[in-house]
Amino acid sequence: MSNTPDHELVVAAKAAMQNAYAPYSKYHVGAALRAENGKVYAGCNVENAAYPEGTCAEAGAIAAMVADGANQIRDIVIIAVGDNKAAPCGGCRQKINEFAEPDLIISVVNTAGDTTRFSLGEILPHSFKLDV
C-alpha cells in the first residue's frame, strides 16, 4: 500500500482544519472524503461549551456527504494541527464504518505531511453494520 494520501483530499482536509472551532482544546482537526459520486466533502471539529456536544471533523464530512445524497466513502484523509496525527475516535470509526467497507484506507496526516495509513478493518475489527 502506498503511503501517499490523495493530494486533493489533503488540501481539502487542511482547509477545513483551518476553520475548526476549537476554543477549548485548541486542537484543530480537518477531514475530507471522496464519495462514490467522485465529489469531495470536508468537515472540521466544532467544539461546544456543553461538552460533549461538539462534533468531530469526520462526522462533519460524513454529514455533508449524506446531505448531498451520497452514501459510500471511497477514500478519507484526517489532518490535525502540529505534529499529532489524529486517528478517528471510536464513535467516528463507527460512523465511517456505516458508509464504507472494511478495506477502506484511512490516511491520518499531520501538518508536516507525515502520514500513517491503515484500513478501517484494522482499526475497527469485528464491527457491526446494518445488513440490508
Parse the chain into domains and list their residue ranges: 7-123
- The residues annotated with a catalytic role in the active site are 58
Backbone angles phi, psi at 51, to 5 degrees: -55, 135
Q: Which amino acid is at 107?
A: S
Q: Which amino acid is at 86?
A: A
Integer Cα distance of 50 and 120 in angstroms: 30
Integer Cα distance of 77 and 32 in angstroms: 5
Render pLDDT for 53-102 as a digit per residue (tens, 0 to 9): 999 999 999 999 999 999 999 999 999 999 989 999 999 999 999 999 99
Q: Which homologous superfamily is 7-123 in?
A: Cytidine Deaminase, domain 2 (3.40.140.10)
This model's pTM is above 0.85: yes
